[in-house]
Structures are given as C-alpha cells and as structure tokens.
Chains A and B, each alone.
Chain A
Amino acid sequence: MAFLEVRDLAKSFPSPAGVRHVLEGVSLDVDQGEFVSIVGSMGSGKSTLLSLLAGLTAPDAGTVVLDGKPVTGVRNDAAFVFQNYSLLPWFSALENVRLGVRAAFPAASAAEQRTRATEALERVGLGNALDRKPRHLSGGMRQRVSLARAFATEPRVLFLDEPFGALDALTRDALQQDLAQLCAERERPVTTVMITNSVEEAILLSDRIVPIVTGPPSSLGTPIVVDLARPRTLAQLAHDEQATHARAHVVAALTASLQRRGRSSGSGSIPALSTATEPVKASGQA
C-alpha cells in the first residue's frame, strides 16, 4: 500500500457559465520518500489538485489516504511552499519561521523553537538575514525563508505549489539546487508532491513525473519514471540520454492532451468552459 493513495478525485466549482468541472477521475500513488512532480499548463487544475491532496479543500468525490489515514484537513506532519512566498510582512525572517516551528512543536521551549528556526534559516544560507523583514529580502531570499519554514517543522510530507514560478531563471536554478539538497539532507525521508509548469524543473528534482491531461475536467496521464543519479545538474541533464527520453515523453503527453482539448473546443462541445488563457488557442483551431 502506497504512502499517499489518491483514488478517483473529482472537484468542480460554480461559475457564471454553469458548473465548472475542474478535475475528474484523478488517481495517484506516491511511495514514502518519493518526489513526484505534477506537470501541466496554467489553468489545468494543478493547484486545485494540490489543495485536495493537502486537505486544504474537500473533494466532491474520491478519497485521499495518507499513511493509512483519510485526509480530512491539513495534517500536522505536512508542510507547504506556495508560489507567492506567503511570508507575513510584519515579521522578520526568523519570526516567520518560528511561527511554523511553534505550531509544529508546541511542547518545545521558546529557546528551543528559536534554535530550530535559526538552524533552518542557516541551512538555506540566510544566517545573516534572520532579523530582516520580507520586504528587505530579494524574491529568491524570500522563497528560501519559505523553504526554511517548511523544513523547520520536519514534515513527513511536503506540498510545493509552483514554488519557484515567480523567480527569474538564475535564482530559480539556485533555489532548485537548495531544495534538492534540503531533501537529500533529511534524516528521515520526506515525501514530496510538487506542482510545476517546467518540465526541466520536474526532471531535475523528481523520481517520477505525472503529466496532467488538460481538461476541463483534467485528469492525470501515465507517470514517467526519472531514474537518474543524484545530485543532478541542469547542465548534465541537457545532454543525458535518459533525461532527453523523459523530457520527450512528458512533452508529448502534455501536447497530446492540449491538442485533444483544442479539437473538442473547436467542435463546440465545451464552448464556455475554457479558461481565460486558452480561448485564443481554441479560436485559432476553429
């Protein structure tokens, strides 16, 4: 039995054009300690899927079982990193991390919580920025604080929602390496589900990549195993045969699902349900 078992999830939202079925028939198994990336384009329901897995929102149908227990709310051994930093601007980096530590280790003394938070920030190279407020930190540094906050709680499950999506390319590379290292340094393995729109990022970090079959309603395609030794670097992946193979597979899966969608939109079967980003494509086909 897998550590994280997802069976037949469905989720829809009311919209002005009627009910919008975002996800349907989503099933996924993630083993303990595995790093799985879910790759899809904007508006494909990725973030919705992640909030269902994490218990932030409840599904309309289907089940999520984590470590043998059904997920009904946010678990106390799970941690999150969002795209938009989600740091509180009135707190320093240290206080932001401490807020997470305090919630995860309520029994620990104040000094112990402080030490934990400080160490977490030192691990991401922010030992000299403990007292800086988020607005005095660069985008990359802010997202490092978010990583530190997530890892400081020593989570067993990590949910990453496009964690580096808002960063420039160079910072993104650096943060990806930081994340890989944080995962590798953990004493007990952390099970990670990451949402991303970057195939490269997925190949660099994951054990397995699951492409989204873009709807609506979206579902998941066949997983692609990335069996590459770690640590990986982008430079090395550019020429690696396995990586090229994985890349081709993921891109093919994503393109196929988008084209299918384009055709069905063009034929008028789901005219009003396209998201704001896609109608251009749909009308181009028609």
Chain B
Amino acid sequence: MTLMKRLINLMLPLCGVAMALAAWWAASLAVPDLPSPVRTWEESKLYILEPLAKRGESDQGILLLAYYSLVRVARGFLLGIVLATPLGFLLGVSPTLTRMFDPIMQVLRPISPLAWLPLGLVLFQKSEPAALFAIAICSMWPTVINTMMGVRAIPQDYWNVAKVLRLSRTTTFTKIIVPATLPYMFTGYRLSLGIAWLVIVASEMLTGTPGVGGFLWQEYNSLVYAHILLAIITIGVVGFALDRLMGLAEARLRAS
C-alpha cells in the first residue's frame, strides 16, 4: 500500500512533465521557429554535458553561466538585505519613521528592474554596479516589510520582560527583538532572493554581461532559438533550487 502510494507520488509529477513536453512539442509543430523538445536537446546537450566548459567569452557550459549569474545575484541580494534589515528594524520600532517613509516605500516597491537599470547606468557608468543596484533596490522590499512586521508582532509579554529585567537597549535588541523577529526576517530573505533572481535575467539582458540572462539574449540575437529554451529552463531550475534551499534554512530556524 505504502509502496504503491510512493510510486504514484513519484509518477504524478513525471506525468505532468510529460504533458508539458507534449504541449511544447505540439506548439513546435504549429510555430516553425520554435524548436521541438528533441531539437532543443540536440542543440543544447553540449552545454549540459560539458557544464563547466569555457570555449569563449560567450560560449560556456550552462553551470558556468549559472554560476556567473548566481555570484551577481548573491552580491546584489546581500547588498539589498544589508540595507533592508536595519531599515526594517527602524521602521518596526518607530511609528514616526514609518509614517515618514511608508509612502515612498509604497511608490518604489512596484517599479520594475527594467526601469531601475538605466538609472543605475547613469549613476555608476558601468554595467556591473548598475546591475547590483537594480537587484538590491528591487529585492529589498520584502525584507524591509517582513522585518518591520516581525518587530511589530513581538508580544507585549516580551517587552514586559525587557522592562522588568531592566535590560539595556543593546541587550533588548540582541536578546529579544532580533530572536523574536528572526522567522519573519527569514521569510523576507526568501522572498527577496526570489525577486533578486527575477531581476538578474533582466539586468543581464540589458547590460549584456555573461550569465544565463546574457546568454539568453545573445542566443536570441544569433537566432539560436533552442538555447533560449535551454536558458529559460535553467533559470527556472536554479530559481526553484534557491527557493528550496532558503525554505530548508527557514524550517531549520523555526525548529531550533
């Protein structure tokens, strides 16, 4: 019974994948420019089977390309949360600051990375810092908001503890505010990382820097459409893996 169940649980996702591939294949029959799954594999297998090969600046294995993108994401994401976390704490403890900055935040939040990037280029003149700027400013909001909410959700009981034990500001911060907010903060980090990964592709496409997004745009311009699909699938798989990793870290944090 349990074995049967396990088998079914394994089969169901595979069925889903098979159906998606079938739909893709059907679409490729209708649209002549869209490579079929088989052709995509044929044209992409060099990148997948030699994932770390470096044949030239723009002709590299898929893992190597993903690695460039990940490094860029990591730097932009770190920059973002380094700015966002203290900002979240400040807004959480001070209603005055919240009133002051909430409207600006609400206006900045929905701006697309495509809109930030040119501004980054104007500000920093180079594509790399402009990309980091775009990633940081787009991905920081979930962390700001979650940290702020986390601080506000601290139960009165804990504030009472700080009061009656006469804890100093520093001790209250490190022993009460931070641990109480940590789960919220981590949810923010997870959402921020997801956004950072979304932004990376757009910013690489616009700046033409090497990475999965840059590769995608370059192959589109060279009319190698199979590689667009390869890049898309890679972006999805890496994004999924990142989210899962953050999810695991979050679960461990909540369990401890």
Contact = CB atoms under 8 A, between A and B. Distances in A.
Contacts of B158: 86, 88
B161 A88 contact: yes
Given A90-B179, A99-B175, A84 B157 contact: yes
Interface stretch (A63-71, A75-83, A197-205): A75-83
Interface residues of B, number: 15
Contacts of B164: 54, 56, 74, 78-80
Contacts of B176: 88
Given A74-B166, A99-B167, A100-B165, A82 B179 contact: no
B166 A86 contact: no
B160 interface: yes
B179 A86 contact: no
A86 B167 contact: no
B250 to A, nearest CB: 15
A82 B156 CA distance: 12
Contacts of B54: none
A270 interface: no
Main secondary structure, interface of A, reads loop
A103 interface: yes
A103 B165 contact: yes
Nearest to A84: B157
A103 B175 CA distance: 12
Given A76-B166, A99-B165, A103-B166, A86 B160 contact: yes
A82 B165 contact: no
A103 B176 CA distance: 14
Given A88-B176, A90-B179, A103 B163 contact: no
Contacts of B163: 56, 74
Interface string A81-100: 01011111011000000011
Contacts of A100: 165
Contacts of B161: 86-88, 99
Interface of B: 157-158, 160-161, 163-167, 171, 175-176, 179-180, 256
Identify the 10 closest CB pairs spanning chains A and B, nearest first.
A80-B164, A90-B179, A103-B165, A86-B157, A86-B161, A100-B165, A103-B166, A84-B157, A74-B166, A103-B167
17 contacts: A54-B164, A56-B160, A56-B163, A56-B164, A74-B164, A80-B160, A82-B160, A84-B157, A86-B157, A86-B160, A88-B175, A88-B179, A90-B179, A90-B180, A90-B256, A99-B161, A103-B167
Interface of A: 54, 56, 74, 76, 78-80, 82, 84-88, 90-91, 99-100, 102-103
